[in-house]
């Protein structure tokens, strides 16, 4: 028997009965549209379990649908509101912790991102479907790039990016997976969306509208641009880029210089540090700062014996500040690496050699 609409009068009901018209009052759904979509996605996993007798698993040997179901199940387990919604209908025990490995996640997803991660799409009619329109994520990424400005003093930071390039090529530096995306400090280097990013400075901490601590960063990028994005925004970009990496020295290199020689070590030469005794005003004024770094496979005293006649020693006597014996390394490459590292601090001075010709030392 069909229940009539309570807003109709008895006369209306009688008239409608005479006409053979019935008005059904649909029972309101107890789930929101989002919850219904989540349930629908879970029911697909339940059908897989019923057909295969096990939960979907990750692995390249499994077909694409099983791997998608496994990712979806990880996401459902990682979201408390999803588990609370689905547990009452989980008669197969799929969501139990001993049935599936839950993927690690500390990221808060909005509704659209959650549904996308669960593999649930809204069904829309062709007339409602927008074509040639970028997604919100694409628009946000484009706006972020557009908000970057040309770094006017990029030449100051270019040696940093050159060192990263050379260091990665030589193995002196390495990239590691950016697991801790909240640890961001001044001087940190990241590979983000294919660009090297350098944290140049951080502003004063403040509280946002939700009471969370944040601060403004100055981020210099390897393509000569910079951004004043918030720290939380930078952290979010790290979360969104699965290929994001942190640039760091190898953890197993140990100290650059040791204090003992072991059996079997092969001598490579000497790195020496000199201080000029020149009486030229500029050099004398900055004597404690100006040093020469060099390499020799022979005796340092013999190498510098004729310093007063060599422009590379600023045509003056020199004082030996330090010497380091090298073993088991390519000393020439190490010397070049040191020169590149200190290139931004290279002395910019012109002197006349013993023949009166101007000369600019490059070391």
The count of other CB atoms within 10 Å of the CB of residue 127 is 5
CA distance 209 to 236: 17
With 0-12 / 13-18 / 19 or more C-beta atoms within 10 angstroms meaning exposed / middle / buried, residue 318 is buried
Per-residue pLDDT of the chain (363 residues; tens, 9 = 90+): 444 444 555 566 666 666 665 555 545 557 888 888 888 888 888 888 888 888 888 887 778 888 888 888 888 888 888 888 888 888 888 886 444 444 444 344 455 554 554 444 545 455 545 555 555 555 555 445 446 788 999 998 998 899 888 888 887 788 888 877 888 999 899 999 889 999 999 999 998 878 889 999 999 999 999 999 899 889 888 888 888 899 986 654 455 556 666 666 677 788 888 898 888 888 888 888 888 888 888 888 888 888 888 877 788 888 898 888 887 777 677 777 777 777 777 777 777 766 777 777 766
Contact 269, 326 (CB under 8 A): yes
DSSP per residue, 209-224: TTS-EE-BEEEEETTS
Collapsing DSSP to helix, strand or coil, 16 comes out as helix
DSSP per residue, 287-336: TTT-EEEEEESS-HHHHTTTGGG-GGGTTS-EEEEEEEEEESS-HHHHHH
> How much is the pTM?
0.36
Write down the pLDDT at residue 197. Answer: 93
């Amino acid at each position: 028997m069909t229940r009539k609409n309570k807003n109709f009068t008895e006369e209306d009901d009688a008239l409608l009965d005479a006409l053979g018209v019935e008005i059904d009052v649909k029972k309101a759904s107890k789930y929101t549209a989002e919850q219904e979509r989540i349930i629908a996605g879970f029911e697909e996993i339940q059908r897989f379990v019923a057909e295969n007798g096990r939960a979907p698993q990750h692995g390249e040997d499994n077909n694409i649908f099983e791997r998608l179901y496994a990712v979806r199940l990880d996401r459902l387990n990682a979201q408390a509101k999803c588990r609370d919604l689905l547990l009452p209908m989980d008669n197969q025990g799929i969501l139990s912790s001993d049935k599936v490995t839950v993927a690690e996640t500390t990221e808060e997803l909005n509704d659209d991102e959650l549904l996308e991660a669960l593999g649930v799409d809204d069904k829309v009619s062709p007339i409602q479907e927008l074509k040639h329109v970028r997604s919100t994520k694409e628009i946000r990424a484009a706006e972020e790039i557009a908000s970057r400005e040309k770094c006017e003093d990029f030449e100051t930071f270019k040696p940093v990016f050159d060192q990263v390039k050379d260091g990665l090529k030589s193995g002196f530096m390495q990239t590691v997976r950016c697991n801790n995306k909240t640890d961001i400090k001044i001087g940190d280097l990241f590979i983000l969306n294919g660009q090297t990013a350098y944290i140049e400075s951080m502003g004063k901490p403040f509280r946002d509208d939700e009471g969370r601590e944040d601060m403004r960063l100055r981020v210099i990028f390897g393509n000569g641009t910079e951004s004043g994005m918030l720290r939380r925004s930078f952290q979010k970009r790290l979360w969104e880029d699965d290929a994001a990496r942190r640039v760091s020295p190898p953890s197993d290199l140990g100290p650059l210089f040791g204090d003992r020689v072991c059996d079997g070590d092969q001598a490579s030469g000497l790195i020496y540090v000199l201080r000029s005794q020149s009486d030229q005003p500029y050099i004398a004024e900055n004597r404690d700062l100006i040093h020469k770094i060099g390499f020799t496979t022979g005796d340092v005293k013999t190498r510098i014996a004729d310093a007063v006649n060599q422009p590379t020693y600023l045509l003056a006597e020199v004082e030996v500040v330090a010497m380091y014996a090298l073993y088991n390394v390519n000393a020439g490459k190490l010397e070049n690496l040191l020169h590149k590292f200190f290139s931004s601090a290279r002395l910019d001075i012109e002197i006349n050699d013993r023949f009166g010709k101007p000369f600019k030392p490059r070391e």
